[in-house]
Amino acid sequence: MSVTEIVPNVSERHVSRAASVPFDAAKQADALTEAFTLIGAAVRFDRNTEIFGEAEPAEYFYQVVSGAVRMYKLLSDGRRQIGAFHLPGDVFGLEAGQTHRFGAEAIATSVIRVARRSAIIALAARDHDLANELWTRTADRLQLAQDHMLLLGRKNAEERVASFLLQMADRAAAERTLDLPMSRQDIADYLGLTIETVSRTLTQLEGKAAIELPSSRRVRLCNRAALQRLNA
C-alpha cells in the first residue's frame, strides 16, 4: 500500500503515469523550483499514504509534481483539521523549526519531489534569490492560513463551501468544471464542518443554481457571481 519508491530524478515512467495536470518545472523558473530540479528526487506516494507525520523531524522540503496532498493536525480524540491542500507546483514542509507541526498525506497517487533541507539551506546561504524565495513562500502560506482563519472563525457553512469552491477553481485554473481530488470528509475537515453539512450545503447551492453536481467529485460553477457574493 505505502509504495514509496525513490528515483534519482523524475523518470518518464512516473510522470506519465501520474494523474492529471503534472507540474512542469521548466515553465516556472523560480529559484526554489530550480533548486528542486537540481537536487531533488522524485518519489511516488499512493493514495492515503503518509508523506510525513505530525511532530516528525523535518528533514526534507517537498514539491508536488502531480497529484494532491493534505496537511492535517489531529486533536487527541481524533478530531482533524486540514490546514491546506497542496496541488502541483506547491512547495510544502517549509517549517523553519526542527520538526513538522502538521502531518502530510497523499490524497491521490502523487509524485513529490523531495530535497534535503540542509542542502537547500546551504544553497540559500550563497543565493539571495533562493533565500528570499524561502521567505516569500513561507509568507504566502501565512497569508493563506490567515484567510483560512477568517473562514473558520467567522463564516457560515454556505460561505465556507462557496469560498472553498472558488479557491479550488482559481488554483486549478478551471473555467467552469472542477474535478475535486479530495473526499467530502477532507473538505469537511478543511472547512471545520461535518461531511453531512458539506453535502447538504452543496445540494443547497445546486438548488440555487449556483453549481451543478454531475458526479460527487465533479462540480460545475454555473453562477460564479452568486458564489462570489458569499465569499465575503
Identify what 149 binds: DNA, its own copies, none; CB under 5 to 8 Å per kind: its own copies
Contact between 9 and DNA by CB under 7 A: the answer reads no
Applying the rule CB under 7 A, the residues between 122 and 181 that interact with DNA are: 156-158
Q: List C-alpha distances in Å: 210 to 29, 70, 159, 204.
A: 37, 27, 12, 9
CB of 172 to DNA, least distance (A): 17
**Strands (DSSP E) found in the chain:** 6-7, 41-45, 50-52, 60-66, 69-74, 80-86, 91-92, 103-106, 110-116, 177-179, 211-215, 218-221
All three cell numbers of 111: 509524485
Site string for DNA, 185-204 (x = CB under 7 A): x------xxxxxxxxx-xx-
Identify what 102 binds: DNA, its own copies, none; CB under 5 to 8 Å per kind: its own copies
Length of the chain: 232
Distance CA 182, CA 25 (A): 24
Binding site for its own copies (CB under 8 A): 73, 75-76, 79-81, 83, 94-97, 101-102, 125, 128, 131-132, 134-136, 138-143, 145-150, 152-155, 189, 191-192, 232
Name the site residues for DNA (rule: CB under 7 A): 156-158, 183-185, 192-200, 202-203, 213, 215-217
